[in-house]
Amino acid sequence: MLIQQFYDLNIFIDNLNIFEAPGVVFIGARILESINDPIPRCSLILSVPLGWINQRSIVDGTELRFDIKSTRYEISESLYFRLVDITEISVEQQFCKVALSGALDFYPGYRYLNAYNLYGTSSDVFMQVAKDFKLNSDIDVTNDEQLWVSGTDNLYKHLNKIAKHGWINETSAMFWAFDRKKTLLYKNLTDLFRTRNQKTWTFVQRGEVYDSTEKLYGYSNAALSIASGTENLFHEGYGGDDKYFDLASYQWKYPAARKVVAESNLINISKELSQGLATNWYPFDVGNFHENYHLARKQNARILSTYSTYAALECAYFMNYRLGQIVKFILMDSQDINNSVKMGSGIYIITSITIHMTNHEITSAVQLAMQGINGQAITRETY
């Protein structure tokens, strides 16, 4: 189906193209991928004849496929999901409105796979998962060798716990996610910013713009929010000294994340409050953990929490940006490009992408995150 002259969209339920099914009307669809929720989701809303839904059962695990192509925006994607829930069936004059909800087509993530209880680094575990399931992957090599045991956790929960304790060095900040293309990501956020290309893609406030030579993405509207208090209060931003007992040396140890690589003018943590709000007591280390296991948990949480400035972009089109991409964003006055909000402008990471589809348009919403703020120095002392 041709949409906005730029997109060729086809949606399949199993092998049935809904645009070729008699009487079926496409109302809308959405695809969401996010670093904060590492399993991409989709939704699909249709209007179908009563006879069609009576004759064709849409059941748990049905394959949902979205083919999106655009020469203009250099997109050629086939995105695979599995039906999880039917969230609505309502009758409207001989037709049914049917709302479907799906999750990424990687159901091994919900299985209990003790094959990934292995001795090695956390990146070894991610690489083994990618190899065994023939997944595309982008995985940073870590320095955290130990025995990783899933216990009663399924594979998704196992990867969550591993990433929390992943470690490369004293400034690493590990996160993981699947993107919409089922690429397995396990990345060090600090290195993503440090090793970025000198000329990054830039979001500019022009509704329809895409320039692969100048590396420009267009957006229509933007809103900035700064969640430093929430990040600091609930995600270890204020740091503090934790403790655990190490049986090998038979002494107390006090892990504390002290270093953050600055990617902005001001890391938005009050120095007055940055001594921590409480002491966390970790389990005994009986020799099964890597040397920085407990410190990694503290450090990953704290460094990730410094990325607390968010830009929510509304885009009139969907372009070929990707989850975890480093980009430049300038919050400016669309009537006067010389006026900008400097404190909210800078280098960001794409933390979520939502693709919205209807019969008339394919649009997107992109969330960016930046570390701290880039405003002028203020008198109140900050960390």
Domains recognised in the chain with CATH numbers: 2-105 (2.40.30.200)
Distances (CA, A) of 207 to 155, 236, 319, 328: 41, 38, 12, 17
The band of 382, judged by pLDDT with boundaries at 50, 70 and 90, is very low
Bigger pLDDT: 334 vs 235: 235
Ordered alpha helix ranges (H), 242-374: 293-305
pLDDT at 235 over 50: yes
pLDDT at 335 over 70: no
Work out the percent of the chain whose per-residue pLDDT is above 90.
60
pTM of the model: 0.92
Burial label for 278, CB within 10 Å (0-12, 13-18, 19+), is: exposed
Taking the C-alpha atoms of residue 169 and residue 157, their distance in angstroms, rounded to an integer, is: 24
pLDDT at 312 over 90: yes
CB 310 within 8 A of CB 365: no
pLDDT value of residue 1: 87
